[in-house]
Amino acid sequence: MHVNLYLQFLISGLTLGSIYALIALAIVTIYNITGILNMAQGEFVALGALTACTFYSAGFSLPASFLISVVIIAIVGALIERLAINPVRNASSITLIIITIGLSIIIRGLALLIWGTNPYSLPAFTQGGPLQVFGAAINPQSIWVFGLLIVTVTGLFVFMEKTYWGKAVRACVINRMAAKLMGINPDILSLMAFVISGALGAAAGVFITPITLATYDMGFALGLKGFVAAIIGGINNVGGAIIGGLLLGVLEVFGAGLISSGLKDAIALIVLIIVLLFRPQGIIGVVIGRKV
């Protein structure tokens, strides 16, 4: 088999992995700040993509459709946090996970009612054919997706490491009770986490639509893969989420290309089982223990 083919697989895998990494980043951000595993993160991606398609087909420009979609889904994230999460914030983690699964089903049902089963599309952000690199073809939209990942990671890094509010968020992640005693309000940070995750999900949805198209049920598989990526990396680790996402994307494409395309989705679950069996804290996650 030609080396160019492997390169092609790697590039496709990194593109797919960037999408997973973006979703995993949002899941990890919410988990770190609130302790909640948001199983509805994939629906933010779907809602973002479909909303942008609606505005674009109504005559708005692509950048305007993108911005409107990001703002709307950020508001949806805020509403979900205030109406469904905040009132039961002291419930057990299993209750909160079930709530987010319920939200995911509700959002998918509403999306089906609003947008139906037909796929929607957006034009590629830059026109022109694929770029040729060492014989492999790179879709320019893939570069946009990868760019979004880099911008998001850089933005999160600068926010967390260099800003006072970012350090307040980290303080809350390290020790919620002590943060409260400093006057840091975890409720506000929880709201902020859902707003960021809504916006991030919507942005990811818009960026991938020119490659994958947008459907009402696209969020389920994406959310699941993002969740697997977050677990692979270590659920509380931002760096791990990125590595987990990229690794999962590459494994999926290589598995589909070299073994069988029917195995694509199974690979994510096989990797999840292997990681949970042999390294449950994730590739670079740390074991979270509790003194007894």
Partner 1 sequence: MNILDVNGLKVFHGHAQALRGVTFHARKGEIVAVLGANGAGKSTLLGALSGIYNAKAGEVVFNGKPINRRTSGYIVKQGLILVPEHRQIFNTLTVQDNLLLGAFHRYNKDKSILYEDMERVLETFPALQGKEQQTAGILSGGLQQMLAIGRGLMANPKLLMLDEPSIGLAPMVVAEIMTALRKLREDGTSIILVEQNAAAAFKVADRAIVIERGQVVISGKPGELVNDERVQQAYLGRTRDQAGTVAMAL
By the rule CB under 8 A, 284 interacts with partner 1: no
Number of neighbouring beta carbons within 10 Å of residue 123: 11
167 binds partner 1 (CB under 8 A): yes
**Start-end of H helices in the chain:** 3-34, 41-57, 62-80, 93-115, 140-162, 164-174, 176-181, 186-212, 218-233, 238-258, 264-278
CB of 62 to partner 1, least distance (A): 37
Give the number of other CB atoms < 10 A from CB of residue 250: 19
When binding is defined by CB under 8 A, the residue of 164, 287, 289, 292 that contacts partner 1 is 164
Measure the N-to-C terminal CA separation of the chain; round to a whole number of Å: 56
Q: Of 177 and 288, which has the nearer Cβ to partner 1? A: 177
Residues from 208 through 247 that contact partner 1 (CB under 8 A): none
Select 168 or 213, whichever has its Cβ closest to partner 1: 168
Please give the Cα distance from 142 to 12 (Å, whole number).
8
Q: Of the candidates 75, 83, 88, 174, which one interacts with partner 1 according to CB under 8 A?
A: 174
Residue 183 φ/ψ, nearest 5 degrees? 90, 5
Binding to partner 1 by residue 171, rule CB under 8 A? yes
Q: Does 175 bind partner 1 (CB under 8 A)?
A: yes
* 180 interacts with partner 1 by CB under 8 A: yes
Distance in Å, CB of 172 to partner 1, minimum? 9
Residues in touch with partner 1 (CB under 8 A): 164, 167-168, 170-171, 174-175, 177-185
